[in-house]
Amino acid sequence: MRLLALISGGIDSPVAAHLMLAKGDDVDLLHFDNRPFTDDSPFEKVKGLARTISTSVPGARRPRLMMAPHGKVQIAIARGAIRRLGCVLCRRMMFHVASAMAQRDGYDALVTGESLGQVASQTLMNIRAEEPAATVPVLRPVIGLDKIEIIAIAERIGTFATSIQPGLCCTIVPDKPATKARLKDVLSAENGLDMATLIKQELDGIQEVDFGCR
């Protein structure tokens, strides 16, 4: 399968991408660049993580790394939608854009590093509200693993040291993010946004990033 793995600078998503690479799938990486709501560190970390992942499975095809500019979308969501739904809408936008890219470029599915209950956006109810935004299957290879198990894999493949380097958290996270988002509320919020334009702008802005050789 050709898979598009959504990768942040954290611990879980590089492990998820590696696990699918290790299964023998063709995996490319897509990072949503959250600047100016973070600093440059996640972007630099992701390049380092891509280098490590690319050599984590002997003989596997070297992944490509793509970057989607996500800052303008965050502004549109913050200005135009109910504040507490911000994280859910942000993740739905990632699914919208990644699905559009998958359909355009021939990927069979998306891969995410979601692991239930670790952060506000990763409750089962939120996942139920987010997943319908994807128009291709979403694979979650670490969904049932606990943090200790994920860290053990990250240490084994060499991504852990990079993932825990300092990186500014998203500064546009609401004070009280929704943990039980309802799909009808989320769809209503999206109706207030110019979704087609936002998705097209972000899709058109995706660029391949040279992450160098290891």
Partner 1 sequence: MPIMLRQCKTKAGYEALPLDKRTNKWDQERRLDLAVIKRSMEDLGYEVLDAGPLLIAKRHDIREATIYRTGRLIIKTNDEAEAKATAERIYIDIGLEG
Q: Whole-number minimum distance, CB 13 to partner 1, in Å?
A: 16
- C-alpha closest to that of 200 among 113, 88, 75, 72: 72
Closest CA to 135 of 161, 97, 166: 97
Q: Which of residues 145-184 bind partner 1 (CB under 8 A)?
A: 166-169, 171-172, 174
Identified binder of partner 1 from the candidate list 74, 99, 122, 123, rule CB under 8 A: 74
User: What would the two tokens of residue 119 be?
Assistant: 């952060």
Q: How many residues make contact with partner 1 (CB under 8 A)?
A: 17
Give the angle 38-39-43 at the CA atoms, nearest 5°.
95
Stretch that binds partner 1, among 16-24, 70-78, 114-122, 202-210 (CB under 8 A): 70-78
- Comparing CA positions, the residue from 170, 111, 114 lying closest to residue 143 is 114
Given the complex with partner 1, which of 71 and 205 has the nearer CB atom? 71
DSSP label at 84? G
Please tell me whether residue 103 binds partner 1 under the rule CB under 8 A. Answer: no
Q: Which window, 59-67, 79-87, 98-106, 134-142, contacts partner 1 (CB under 8 A)? A: 79-87
User: Closest approach of Cβ 154 to partner 1, in Å?
Assistant: 16
CB closer to partner 1, 143 vs 151: 151
- The two tokens of residue 54 are 């690319």
69 Cβ contact list (under 8 Å, min separation 6): 33, 202, 205, 206
Chain contacts with partner 1 (rule: CB under 8 A): 36-37, 39, 41, 74-75, 78-80, 83, 166-169, 171-172, 174
